[in-house]
Every structure is written in C-alpha cells, then in structure tokens.
C-alpha cells in the first residue's frame, strides 16, 4: 500500500530546484568566464593594434645633407597618447634627437614640442624642426624581423615546445598550468609563476620565440614581464621594453648583471627570438670553483650579450649572500610574472662535454 507524503514530495521538489539552479549558475559562470577570457585575449593581442605604433625610417628632406637618415619608434601609452622617439637609426646605440608626446587627432597622430613637430597619417610620417634651416623629414613604416624566426630544431636537439603539449615540462605550483592556444602557442598563466623543464641542463644552446601583449597603460616592469632562466638561477629578461634605452632590467638583459649592448626589443605583438649559448660553471677535481658561468645572447639575431660572465645568480638570488653557482645540471624555467606572454618553437641542444 502506497502512502503519499506531501511534505516528502515538497522536499524532493526543492532539492531538484536547488540542483537545477546550481547547474544553471555553473553554466552561466562558465559562459561569463569564457567571454571574459575571450575579451581579455582580444585586448591583449588585438588583430588591429594601434595604427601608429611601431618602427619608421626615412630621410631628412631639408637641412641634413651629411647625415640624412632619421628613424622613429612610436610607443603606445594609452588614452590615445603615444611616445615618439626620434633618432638617427633603429636598433643601434645611436643618438636620440628627441622624445616627444603625440596625441591622436581624428585619423592622425600629431605632436609639437615647440621645436620638433610632425604628423602621422596612414603610411606617411612627416615633420620637421624649427631651426635656421627649417629642417624637414619624411618617414615610412618599417618592419624589423628576426633572421632566426621559425628556425627548425637540428637533429640533435631536444624539443621543449612545438605546440603538441607539456611533455617536456612540469607544472608549478601543482595542479595549475599554462595554456596552449590555437596555432601551437604556449601562453603564460598570470596566476602560475613558473613552468620548469623535467630534464636538467648545464652547457646548452637554446632557441626560443616569444611575443609580448599590447599593454599601453602599463609601465616599467608591469609591461609584459617574463623571463627565461638557464640552469635555474640565471635569467634573461623578457619585457616589453620597446623604444627604451635598454637597462639591466630590460628585454635581453642578464637580469641585475648586464644591460643589453643594444635594445633589440621589437614592438609588442611581434614575434621575437632568443638564441642563447650557455656555459655552466667549472670546478676542479677538489670541488673548487675555477670559472663562473657565461652566456651569449642573440636577441632577434643580434648579439646583446657576448660570453658574459655571471658572478652570481639573478633576480631574488642576487640579494642573498654570495654562493657558488650550481655544480650540476638544473632545469630551465619560464616565468609568467602576472603577464600573458606567449611562446612557441622552443628547443635546446645539450652541448656538455663532460668537463663541467
């Protein structure tokens, strides 16, 4: 004999409603989260970035007969404001004529600091300076590209990332991971500090490709910060330092040890390369340090560090009391530093000869 219990039925209905509400909430949260991530991704890596940003090269058309070359790097600063670095040549330790601020005016970018003035409209960058010759210049867009972009790994190389997965890496901290995007791109997760290789290395030759997001309102070390650590302790800085002088904490620097010889950092969103030769420290048979580690760094094909000695570790390790460098192979680390920097085509050749 079956007895109906209205109170029991009411409780069952309430449980079903609660479960349905939780499911709907979870679906909505997942949908909102995916939309927010998509919006953030479009903001960081837009298909159509600021039309004025980037490299420009040209000539003085009036006023400079002996050294007619002129170039400019246009840097986004947010809120329709751009910084324009006028200089003699790009990607050299060349004289800077002026650093001026420009503002968007309709479909043009204009600047005038009382001496230098100019306008960018479409692919035309014209201007001049108010001197006794009424000097004038005309520039056009220029794209600098690394000669090692897309370099295939040699037969003896160990592929660390080719878009297929995380097989060569461990996740740190446990349970979290970076993201693999369409096109075989590895994107740093801002809440995960590092990923580290499962294998350890001493002497090595490493190729890595990266690009930085467009963060026009960010400043200094918050502008797409990341880093590549050799033998765990020795960092080559990754940063959007496009257009800057190039200091010990800018892109291509051995962090806190050596500024890049020249700032080879390309504009954000553009793929760049590091090609690094690393030589680990040497010890004698008694365990005494006889040679500090050294590193050569090619940034976009140009030597920005050449066989540079590293007397101590970098980053926070540099603040600790002096300790000897590692006497054994250690993992490679990639750093997120709260930024979604992207990577691809990472490979390494173990060049150890057994005497380290």
pLDDT over 80 (residue 354): no
Taking a C-beta distance cutoff of 8 angstroms, is the pair 264, 91 a contact?
A: yes
Domain covering 158-350 in this structure, CATH number? 2.60.120.560
pLDDT tens for residues 225-240?
Answer: 899 999 989 999 999 9
pLDDT given at position 121: 96
Q: Which part of the chain is CATH 2.40.128.620?
A: 54-142
Tell me the C-alpha distance between 176 and 101, whole Å: 42
**Which has the higher per-residue pLDDT, 253 or 338?**
253
Tell me the C-alpha distance between 54 and 84, whole Å: 10
Task: Say which range, 35-39, 93-97, 196-200, has the weakest mean pLDDT.
Answer: 35-39
pLDDT tens for residues 283-319?
Answer: 999 999 999 999 999 999 999 999 999 988 875 555 5
Instruction: Find the angle CA(287)-CA(201)-CA(345) to the nearest 5 degrees.
Output: 160
Tell me the C-alpha distance between 61 and 118, whole Å: 14
Mean pLDDT for 273-285 is: 97
Q: Which part of the chain is CATH 2.60.120.560?
A: 158-350
pLDDT over 50 (residue 267): yes
Mean pLDDT for 186-195 is: 85
What pTM does this model have? 0.85
Mean pLDDT for 326-344 is: 91
Class of domain 54-142: mainly beta
Percent of the chain with pLDDT over 90: 66
Task: Say which range, 30-34, 249-253, 262-266, has the weakest mean pLDDT.
Answer: 30-34
Mean pLDDT for 323-328 is: 88
Mean pLDDT for 310-337 is: 79
pLDDT over 60 (residue 34): no
pLDDT given at position 23: 62
């Amino acid at each position: 004999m079956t007895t109906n219990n209205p109170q029991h039925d009411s409780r069952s209905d309430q449980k079903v409603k609660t479960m349905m509400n939780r499911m709907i909430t979870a679906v909505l949260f997942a949908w909102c989260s995916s939309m927010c991530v998509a919006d953030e991704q479009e903001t960081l890596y837009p298909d159509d970035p600021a039309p004025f940003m980037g490299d420009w090269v040209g000539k003085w058309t009036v006023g400079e007969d002996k050294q007619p070359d002129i170039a400019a790097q246009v840097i986004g600063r947010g809120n329709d404001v751009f910084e324009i670095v006028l200089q003699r040549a790009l990607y050299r330790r060349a004289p800077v004529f002026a650093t001026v601020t420009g503002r968007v005016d309709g479909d043009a970018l204009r600047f005038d600091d009382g001496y230098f003035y100019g306008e960018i409209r479409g692919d035309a960058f014209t201007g001049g300076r108010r001197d006794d010759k009424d000097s004038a210049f005309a520039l056009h867009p220029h794209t600098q590209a690394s000669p090692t972009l897309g370099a295939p790994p040699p037969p003896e190389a160990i592929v660390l990332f080719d878009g297929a997965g995380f097989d060569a890496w461990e996740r740190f901290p446990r349970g979290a991971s970076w993201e693999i995007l369409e096109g075989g791109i590895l994107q740093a997760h801002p809440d995960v500090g590092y990923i580290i290789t499962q294998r350890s290395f001493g002497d090595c030759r490493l190729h890595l490709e990266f690009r930085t997001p467009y963060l026009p309102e960010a400043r200094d070390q918050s502008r797409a910060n990341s880093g590549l650590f050799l033998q765990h302790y020795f960092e080559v800085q990754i940063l959007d330092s496009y257009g800057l002088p190039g200091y010990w904490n800018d892109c291509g620097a051995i962090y806190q040890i050596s500024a890049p010889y020249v700032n080879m950092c390309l504009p954000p969103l553009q793929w760049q390369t590091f090609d690094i030769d690393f030589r680990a420290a040497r010890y004698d048979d008694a365990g005494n340090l006889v040679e500090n580690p050294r590193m050569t760094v090619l940034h976009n094909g140009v030597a920005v560090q050449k066989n540079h000695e590293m007397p101590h570790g970098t980053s926070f390790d540099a603040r600790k009391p002096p300790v000897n460098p590692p006497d054994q192979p250690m993992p490679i680390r990639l750093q997120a530093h709260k930024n979604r920097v992207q990577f691809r085509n990472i490979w390494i050749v173990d060049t150890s000869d057994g005497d380290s």
